[in-house]
Amino acid sequence: MIHIHETIEQLNQRLMRGETTREALVAGALEAAGLPAAKSVFTKMYPEAALAAARAADASHKAGVRLPALAGLPVSIKDLYGVAGETTMAGSVVCQGEPAQTHDAPVVARLRSAGSAIVGKTNMTEFAFSGIGINPHYGTPVNPTDQTVARVPGGSSSGAGVSVALGLSVAGLGSDTGGSIRIPAALCGIVGFKSTQNRVPLEGALELSRALDTVCAMTRSVQDCITVDAVLSGALLPVRRRPIAGMRLAVPQTMVLDGLDHTVAQAFDRSLSILSNAGAQIIEIPLTEFADIPKVNSPGGLSPIEAYAVHHERLARAQAQFDQRVAARVMLGAPITAQQYIALLDKRRAWIASVERAIEGFDALMCPTVPTVAPELEKLIASDDAFFKANGQMLRNTFTINLLDGCSYSLPCHREGELPVGLMLSSVHGDDARLSAVALAVEDALSAHR
């Protein structure tokens, strides 16, 4: 059975050499999706359509047609995106009976136009509202990186992350509102890219927070993220490769380094040493603006306020059918007035300007993606207190960049035999191309010492 643990680039090289076919890759991915390790990863499968896309790409290749990078390769899409003829469930049961989508979401249509073999819709936290990935309705995909203890996959794009980590897809289309791409990428040992929000169209994605939602994906490498982003956005990032030597990487000293567990602290310190030895300038900066986030994001919080606006009718109709942990967070937005909401948006705008001034002149911000390794699943299912504590920890560092309306990568920085740890590289709004060049250089430096 074929599990795909190669990059899109490597697979296309093998396909050019005739060592495999797209049909074989997709058939292997579909077969592996039926194994126990893949339980609860997908909520819906598209085997016939995926195999048809793979066969069509193989036939075009045989006829000498030059194909796009994703043509005929297995890709997964989060159960947040509209597919023509289907009701978007978004990890919930509350949406049952709501109207079917009349057309594909733009990003789904773009993946199809690129020839992708969409193998299925992936499981997720209900309505994308948690960094843990637990789903009481459809089960929770188990993090595949620990064979001894069942650990959380990270959320909300849980199935998307596990589909890539298990080799069931070359890319997992997800979303990132407070960290929902970068958290599962970090916990599952893969790469996640949260682009600047307005880079990729949000249409056709079931909304959580219109101020923060970002359409983006996880893959096995930075270059693969750049390749997939070009399809999702419709425009290739003009990335100019640069050497790591001389790059100025800022490490904020406020909040993001608090409470790191031993594995994360060790991997992060080791990464700083590797990058410094490779010639990067590692510069500690206070960035005290991060301490202001609770004040800026109050009362209620942007996500709960906007989520309540989206879901208040569903809550009124069927609150008992919600994941009660999700319902509790959405309800935080219920009492907030329009006056308070607009004041929050104004505070955010001023905070963004302050942070942008503080980090001007640096190539990227750098910190651990999340402060701990993946928590044990059963403990968080059993205890609300443990769940909400862990959820806050998971989202703490990643949310800073959503609030900034910036762009961000999570790269694996652990070593063989260690639980996965993510290194987060971030920058300001619209700096996606320059940040991608930094991420490529950092990835090269770290992979030489894995």
Which runs of consecutive H residues, i.e. helices, occur in 383-422? 384-404
Closest residue by Cα to residue 77 from 196, 215, 211:
215
Burial of 326 (0-12, 13-18, 19+ CB in 10 A): buried
CB 155 within 8 A of CB 124: yes
The token duo for 183 is 């958290």
Closest residue by Cα to residue 41 from 158, 206, 173:
158
- φ, ψ dihedrals at 90, nearest 5°: 50, 40
Separation CA 385–CA 398 (nearest Å): 21
Q: How far apart are the first and last CA of the chain?
A: 27
Separation CA 55–CA 23 (nearest Å): 6
Separation CA 329–CA 303 (nearest Å): 9
**What is the set of active-site residues?**
78, 156, 180
Closest residue by Cα to residue 119 from 93, 67, 92, 83:
83
